[in-house]
Structure 1
Amino acid sequence: MQLTAVFDIGRTNKKLLLFDEQYRVVEEISETLPETTDEDGFPCDDLPLLTRWVRDHWQQLRRRIEQSSDSVQLRAVNVAAYGATLVHIDETGQPVAPVYSYLKPFPPELTEHFYTTYGEAMTLARQTASPPMGMLNSGLHLYWLKHVRPEVWARVRWSLHLPQYISFLITGQPTSDYTSIGCHTALWDFEQHRYHDWVLREGLHTKLAPIVGQPIVQYADGVPLGGGLHDSSSVIMAYLSRCQGEFMVLSTGTWCITLNPFNTQPLTDEQLHRDCLSYLTVGGAFIKASRLFMGREHDYQVARIAEHFNLTPDFSRQVPYRADLVERLRQSDQNRLQPACMAGTGPFPNQPPGDWDVSAFASAEEAYTRLMIDLVELLTISIKLIDQNTPTIYVDGGFARSQLFMQLLANRFPEKAVYTSLLPQATAIGAALYIRQDDEPVAGWTFERVLPTQEASLPTATQRS
């Protein structure tokens, strides 16, 4: 048996997955590692713990393969990991700083200094396809480190995005790649297809490893090792390699990210202001995207609902789509969701955090249905910002398993074919597909269309065949 290994490093779960020749999961190792704090007391991933976890599992895997007497072979290894996160290493490859969270506040005075020096925020945003987002722009993370932690900056040889750091632990090869550089970093000039002038003027490019625009960066005992992919870009790789026609992919999780690889128009000021951006593919092509911090908001509000009604948070998994309840709630504007976690993000970035009154509902089911109606309304706005009459939406990730969510979404897009994409481990499979570069069918990947129902508040539409 030939196995492909993928390290899939998420914000919550760290995984090592082994796939067979048809991309079936043969084995999955998953662990939730405890967080720590940086020197300012802000939560962040525990970098020494993560480093140990990756190295230990890589060495264990190699030993298992060596002891298998050729009955099991390792075909390839790759990495997918979350973006907007940098690991700073010295000449010896040792980290010199914590892995700062992209949620860490960016100093307002440094923001002012940056834009005073390098120009108007929306102009830079348009050129770099990156809305101004502080530490979520990893280029500004580098700027912050240089100006606020100069003693650390002086020790940095390479600043690696997280996917490339995990790859470095396996390959020993420091690299950069387009998917991480093109992930709302404010580093890349999308008009000139190179690092932006401000990056060159600050000398940040000297800390960024060479860009490798190919799947394989190193070999170990003849096994191809990949340089790692940004997780959202890894997901779209799977669809681009196996799906026909034009489509959007809605990747759901902590962030709900809509990816439209067929919208090649430059970002407008409105799109940038409303949390739209462009990603880069593995080859440096554009993918237009919009973002909503929906998973974070969902989990926060579900915890509040559960606490109020004396339930466990997993009650939400059992809430069905009830047309009568949805219609009744839609016809009332009372106690609509006031998001608590979306300030500065999404299609309404200027909306301040709200305090939604969950006690106004008669039951947890009613409160949760109201929550999902309003989250899908926000998501609909986010999707439409980058839509160009794209006929198909594939929904991937955790929310794709929710009947309530999928039905509400299909109802908002009656003119489109909305599919639940039943592809477990899509992020890891995308990374595996990229490193293998083959035409093998992906076993078990199925699509289930969700047809819209006629709600009183929605116009009817002829179904697409």
Structure 2
Amino acid sequence: MNTTPVIAIFDVGKTNKKLFLFDEHYRIVFEKTLQFTETMDEDGDPCENLEALTEWGRNSLKELMDLKEFEIKALNFSAYGASFVHIDADGKPVAPLYNYLKPFPEELKKKFYEDYGGGITVSMITASPVLGNLNSGMQLYWLKNKHPEIFEKIKYSLHLPQYLSFLITAQPYSDITSIGCHTNLWNFPQNNYHEWVLREGIEEKLAPIFSSANVVDARAFWKDFKVGIGLHDSSAALIPYLACFTEPFILISTGTWCITLNPFNKHPLTESELRQDCLCYMSYKGEPVKASRLFAGNEHEIETKRLAQYFNMPQDNYKKVEYDEKIIVSLAKKNAAAPVIRFAERNLGEYRNYEVAYHQLILDIMWQQLASTKLVIQDNNVNRIFVDGGFSKNSIYMHLLAEAFPTMEVYAASVAQATAVGAALAIHQHWNSKPLPGDIIDLKFYAKPSLV
């Protein structure tokens, strides 16, 4: 029986847990999605169902091995960040998988930043805005100070992607894409752990760093395969673009957050940038990726609900609204005489219909997007902007972005399951005998509108 060589990717989001098989052309040949009901930690805060997640990870491997039409050559993992699984010497979890939205004690935060030079100083060194438990290193600081009995039991604290890999290989590792993502752990100028990690005894709880471009050998169910150690999902989603394009570009990844990523910006973060919600991610090759964030997807969701209610339209009516240049010209003239404000402050009674009001919403979002994206472009010879995610399908957003950046080539980009594809591409050379395909990314060019 002929079998198809494939790589298995476990792609773990906050809501959906996905399992993919990709063939050597990076086509999806198997897909399965599950959702787990959240549980609660000891304080009654919601958290990931770690027991269900662990069982799924282990059982899925057996399920894959039973698929006789495929030959599993390798496995890799991508997962959301800012989340640790704390294991003991036997590899068993000793604490819940705490939610990164769990409130962080203010008095403990105050003590930490007073001890280590203040919020701005620490943030500039670690490229991590002050974000509480979203700075995953602070979760270990919290455990040490508030739950020392748990802290003492910890042999290793593994970021979630590395825990998933550990379930298969039993080999604990840390990965730079997780360590380098707003964790407060990494000293970017010195390319090492921050001083506080050493002084607080945190480093000894962190597994050895291993390259996410390399693999470890594993054997299960009488079969041998290569296993990656996993990647943080935002860094994984950038990999298809880095693999396909060598000329400088920026990627605006849109969803609840619109994150502008510039892998070609080598300037250190400034205090001004930090105050405007800039940070750094880390590429799988260990290189800083400057990024700016805008909560535009969340604003869009809130305001389209308000529009639907006011104009008595379906909640998703915005999907039917196409870019209308005449409406934009009219609104631009009207707005020119007034200060720029957020759409939430606008009176919907000023708009004759839903379509006009929705164009105004996207105009208002674009003013913010322009400012956010400019923060990370700087002088990097960038001449292309790729947009993926929800707004890439929004013709008004895309046309206005092309207008906002008239000297750039602006593209709506689409990669089927970009995060999972990125995790597969990271270890391409270890499992795939074919060259990288040139058709992973679908692009649609948006020319600068000829507004008059």
* Equivalent position of 1:374 in the other structure: 364
**Alignment-derived partner of residue 190 in structure 1:** 188
- Write the letter of the residue equivalent to 1:299: E
Distance of 2:311 and 2:349 partners within structure 1: 9
Unmatched segments (≥5 aa) in structure 2: none
Task: Identify the range of structure 1 (36-45 vs 7-16) with the bigger mean alpha-carbon deviation.
Answer: 36-45
The match for 2:280 is 278
Mean alpha-carbon deviation: is it higher for 26-35 or for 183-192?
Answer: 26-35
Query: Which piece of structure 1 moves more, 53-62 or 355-364?
Result: 355-364
Deviation of 1:218 after TM superposition, in Å, equals 3.5
Q: CA separation in 2, counterparts of 1:377 and 1:295?
A: 14
SS for the counterpart of 2:183 is: coil
| 1:169 match | 167
Question: CA 1:304/1:51 → structure 2, altered by over 3 Å: closer, same or farther?
Answer: farther
1:335 CA displacement: 9.7
Structure 1 counterpart of 2:401: 409
Report whether the alignment pairs 1:117 with 2:119: no
Per-residue CA shift, 1:298-342, capped at 9, x if unaligned? 333334444455554332322221223333334335994367xxx
When structure 1 is superposed on structure 2, of 196-205 and 137-146 the one drifting more is 137-146
Please say if residues 178 and 280 of structure 1, whose CA atoms lie closer than 8 Å, have aligned partners that are also in contact: yes
Shift of 1:11: 2.4
Count of paired positions: 436
Counterparts of 1:6 and 1:357 in 2: how far apart (Å)? 47
* In 1: Cα distance, 2:294 partner to 2:146 partner: 30
Inter-partner Cα distance in structure 1 for 2:353 and 2:90: 58
Question: Alpha carbons of 1:4 and 1:34: their partners in 2 closer, same or farther (altered >3 Å)?
Answer: same
TM-score (norm 2): 0.89
Q: How does 1:285-434 map to 2 (within 5 A)?
A: 285-330=287-332, 331-332=334-335, 333=338, 336-337=341-342, 363-388=353-378, 389-434=381-426
Match of 1:449 in 2: 445
What is the aligned-residue RMSD (CA, Å)?
A: 2.3
Task: Tell me which residue corresponds to 2:105.
Answer: 107
Distance (whole Å) between structure 2 residues aligned to residue 124 and residue 271 of structure 1: 14
Q: Is the 8 A contact 1:304 1:358 kept in 2?
A: no
> Which whole-Å CA distance do the structure 2 matches of 1:161 and 1:314 have between them?
36
Distance in 1 separating the partners of 2:311 and 2:162: 44
Letter in 2 for 1:337: R
1:166-225 deviations in Å (ceiling 9; x for gaps) = 222232222110100010111001111111101100111111111101421332322111
**CA shift in 2, pair 1:58/1:336, >3 Å:** farther
Task: Provide the TM-score with structure 1 as the length reference.
Answer: 0.87
Q: Give the whole-Å Cα distance in 1 for the aligned partners of 2:177 and 2:93.
A: 22
| SS across alignment from 1:142 | helix
Q: Separation in 1 of the partners of 2:235 and 2:121?
A: 25
Q: Is the 8 A contact 1:24 1:442 kept in 2?
A: no
Measure the CA separation in 2 of the matches of 1:156 and 1:361: 59
Following superposition, the deviation at residue 373 of structure 1 comes to 2.0
- On the 8 A contact 1:42/1:104 being kept in 2, the answer is yes
Q: Which amino acid aligns with 1:216?
A: V
Contact 1:183 1:278 in 2 (8 A): yes
Q: Which residue of 1 aligns with 2:216?
A: 217
- Structure 2: distance between partners of 1:46 and 1:183: 23
**Mind listing any 5+ residue stretches in structure 1 that lack a counterpart?**
340-354, 457-465
Distance 2:288 2:28 in 1: 30
Amino acid at match of 1:377: W
Of 168-177 and 359-368, the range deviating more from structure 2: 359-368
Contact 1:182 1:279 in 2 (8 A): yes
Amino acid in structure 2 at the alignment position of 1:217: V
Return the alpha-carbon distance in structure 1 between the equivalents of residues 447 and 110 of structure 2. 49
The equivalent residue for 1:240 is 242
| Closer, same or farther: CA 199–22 of 1 in aligned 2, 3 Å | same
Q: What SS does the aligned partner of 1:386 have?
A: helix
Given residue 206 of structure 2, which amino acid in structure 1 is its aligned partner?
A: L
The one-letter code sitting in structure 1 at the alignment partner of 2:391 is F
- Give the AA of the match of 2:217: Q
Instruction: Determine which of 53, 63, 67 is the counterpart of 2:56.
Output: 53
Indicate which of 19, 35, 38 corresponds to 2:38.
Answer: 35
Q: 1:86 to 1:310 in 2, by over 3 A?
A: farther
Q: Using the alignment, how far apart are the partners of 1:134 and 1:96 within structure 2?
A: 22
Summarize the Cα distance change of 1:444–1:196 in structure 2 as closer, same or farther, 3 Å threshold. closer
Taking the aligned partners of 2:348 and 2:53, their CA distance within structure 1 comes to 37
Q: 1:407 to 1:140 in 2, by over 3 A?
A: same
Instruction: Tell me which residue corresponds to 1:73.
Output: 71
CA–CA distance in structure 1, aligned partners of residues 171 and 418 of structure 2 = 26
Q: Report SS of the residue matched to 2:89.
A: coil
- Which amino acid in 1 is paired with 2:23? D
Distance 1:2 1:312 in 2: 45
Asked if the contact 1:158/1:208 (under 8 Å) is kept, the reply is yes
Alignment partners' CA distance in 2, 1:356 and 1:247: 35
Q: CA deviation at 1:356?
A: 7.0
